[in-house]
Structure 1
């Protein structure tokens, strides 16, 4: 099957999902759109990154309201995300979350303070708040797990909360999306974790 550009592939995938209005597998998308499975996968991942498609369950994808509006309006997809690695060849090189993710992969087990010592820059405002939000989202998405607290270092303290990295999916930084979901460019998966914003500080 001849390869075609990523923008036409995304248009084809979006058209199929918009017409279906139900959850479809990559195989179903490829067969219906008349493209290869690799093209269907790359197109779907690109549309997820645009918030036009969401993964409802493992291996099953559905158009979002934003995607329906874009398809109906004929919004052009001139360029942009392709496959998970192509899309993030230059990932958030010097963002706080990028540095936090690298620190997590390096240490394996850590406290929020450990991460901030490695990742936060002195001129970065609200680093502790933003890092705590990112850590809570990764816990909710199953990337991190909470460990038993370290022994208190002073009277009245509950000890330091520590974490372990469970899902080291790759070098690209899992991205915290609006609404609290995590999009992982290493795998092309979107993990719903809106509950991560509930609860107290990390």
Structure 2
């Protein structure tokens, strides 16, 4: 590992130009930082938005109280959000979500049970449910019962019965194909799918 110093952002470099406490103009700052006036203006707008600078008049900036504190504490200004995203992501009402709800209610079920519970009348969901049950089975959430539900035809071996053995909560787990893992939002963790 190298002990290289972290790269200082444009915002930090611009803020440090105000260490003398005086007001500075865009052209003067652009010349001392060897950058364009537009870049200085854009960076100053960011610093104003965060409360580090104030605009005394068009094209002229002054250090604010928060900016003075940042300079004395030698704070590095980085890009990115100011805090966690407070808006909860809306969960989509998918077939797999409805099927998961059906599994949690029934505990023991067949594919036909889940299709009747979760069907929205749009298209066939047999292959989707079959893949989802296979993923849940490999992740240890669902097991196939030894006993089958009798089929309709006399020669039918019957329908597979599944049992939910790992109910972690109301939000359906999602298979992440790129990692081959099952992400469980209820546990906030990835569960491996054994082949």
The TM-score with structure 2 as length reference comes to 0.52
Where does structure 1 lack aligned partners over 5 or more consecutive residues?
1-75, 196-202
RMSD: 2.7
Greater radius of gyration (CA):
2
Higher RCO (C-alpha under 8 Å, 6+ residues apart): 1
Cα pair 1:103 1:115 within 8 Å, conserved? yes
Cα pair 1:91 1:173 within 8 Å, conserved? no
Structure 1 residues 87-102: aligned runs within 5 Å: 90-92=90-92, 94-102=93-101
Which protein is richer in helix relative to its size?
1
| Cα distance between partner residues in 2 of 1:91 and 1:158 | 38
Q: Deviations over 1:73-132 (max 9, x none)?
A: xxx7659998xxx8966323x111110111100111100110000102111x34111111
Q: After alignment, is 148-157 or 164-173 more displaced?
A: 148-157
The TM-score with structure 1 as length reference comes to 0.50
Which residue is 1:157 aligned to?
A: 156
Q: How many residues align?
A: 115
Which residue is 1:192 aligned to?
A: 192
Where does structure 2 lack aligned partners over 5 or more consecutive residues?
1-78
| Cα distance between partner residues in 2 of 1:177 and 1:146 | 23
Which residue is 1:139 aligned to?
A: 137
Query: After TM superposition, which residue ranges in structure 1, 4 or more long, deviate above 6 angstroms?
Result: 79-82
Structure 1 residues 16-165: aligned runs within 5 Å: 78=81, 90-92=90-92, 94-123=93-122, 125-147=123-145, 148-165=147-164
Cα pair 2:139 2:194 within 8 Å, conserved? no
